[in-house]
Structures are given as structure tokens and as C-alpha cells.
Amino acid sequence: MIRINLLPHRELARAARRRQFNALLGLAVAAGVVTVVLGHTALATRLSAQVARNAYLTQEIAKLDKQIGEIKEIRQQTQALLARKQVVETLQSNRAEVVHLFDQLIRLLPEGLYLKSVKQSGDTLTISGYTQSSARVSTLMRNLEDSPWFERPSLIEIKSATVNNLRANEFSLSVKQTRQQTDEATGKPARNAGGKGGKA
């Protein structure tokens, strides 16, 4: 007996297209899944590499911060040593200046004038004493003005006083001390080019 397929031709073609579509859809889904997995793996690899680089940079930055701290400490120690060196040099130069200072005061004192005290504050000297006449105080001030070790003497006060039952004048004056450059060869003060003239 002969069997005849009565299904329409369109239904067969539609079913074949459906199967083809489902196969293509499955392939697309599989390709999408593979793409996502590969992308995720690549991103995870790059992320781990970046994390490793960040950790390395953090370690290096910590090392640099430590080195910077050590450099700052060394600079502070250097500045402290330089400050101490400056103080020592100043003390050494001032030691010679004090000798010259008193030597000059003795040389500049006129007769009949006696010192009671000499006080120094910075570069200012306050000199007080007794004199037989006020003219001798003027002479002392002129001598101070002419000396290369002093400048700008200024009379503070002068008044009558009694010393050992004798009448005298008690005076007080201030004067600026000038810084002198010492000549290494002679040990004497070397005159600056812009310094004032006068007797030593």
C-alpha cells in the first residue's frame, strides 16, 4: 500500500527554519558565554597585575618617605652643627674683641676721668663714671667718635656728686661698638674700605 505524506510543504520548511534558528541561537549563546568568560578572565588578570603594581609602588613610596625623613634629620643635624660652629667662631672673635675693647677704653680715657662701670648689651656699651669737669666727658666722647672701635657716642646724663668728700661730676653715656676685621698677619684690626677714619 502506498503512503502519501499529506503535510504541507510550508510546514516542513517552517520547521526546518525553526531548527536552524534554534541551532544558531544556541551557538550565539555559547559564543556569548565564552566571550564573557574570556573577558572576565582577562580583566581579572589585568586587575591582579595592577594590584601587584600598586603594592610595589606603595612599598617604594614607603621607602622613599623613610629616606626623606632621614634626609630631613641629617639636614637638621647639619644646621645644628653649623649653628654651633658659628657660635664657636663668634666666641673666638669676641674674645679678641673684648681685649681690644678694654685696651681702647684705657687709651681713650682723658686724665681726671674715672670709670665706675661698663655694661654691654648687643653692640651698645653703657659707660658710667666720675670726672672732675664736664669738659673731660666731651673729650672722652670725641675720642670715642675718632676711634675705629666705637661710633655714635651719646651722653645720657651728667650730674653733681660727692666722692670721698670731694665734689665731682657723675656721668653716663652710651656708645656703639663697631665690628672689626682682624688682620691674620698682625693680629690687629683691619680697616674696612667703608670704615671711618680716626686714631686707634
User: Within this chain, do residues 58 and 73 fall inside the same structural domain, yes or no?
Assistant: yes
Burial class of residue 5, CB neighbours in 10 A (0-12, 13-18, 19+): exposed
Q: What is the pLDDT of residues 23-76, one digit of tens each?
A: 999 999 999 999 999 999 999 999 999 999 999 999 999 999 999 999 999 999
Distance separating alpha carbons of residues 159 and 169, to the nearest angstrom: 5
85 and 151 inside one domain: no
78 and 26 both lie in a single domain:
yes
At 132-175, the pLDDT tens digits run 777 888 888 888 888 877 888 887 877 777 777 677 778 888 88
Predicted TM-score (pTM) of the model is: 0.42
Average pLDDT for the chain: 79
> Is 44 in the same domain as 29?
yes
In a domain, 50, yes or no: yes
pLDDT the model gives residue 96: 65
**C-alpha to C-alpha distance for 114 and 79, rounded to whole angstroms:** 46
The reply to whether 2 falls in a domain is no
Q: What is the CATH number of the domain that holds 164?
A: 3.30.1360
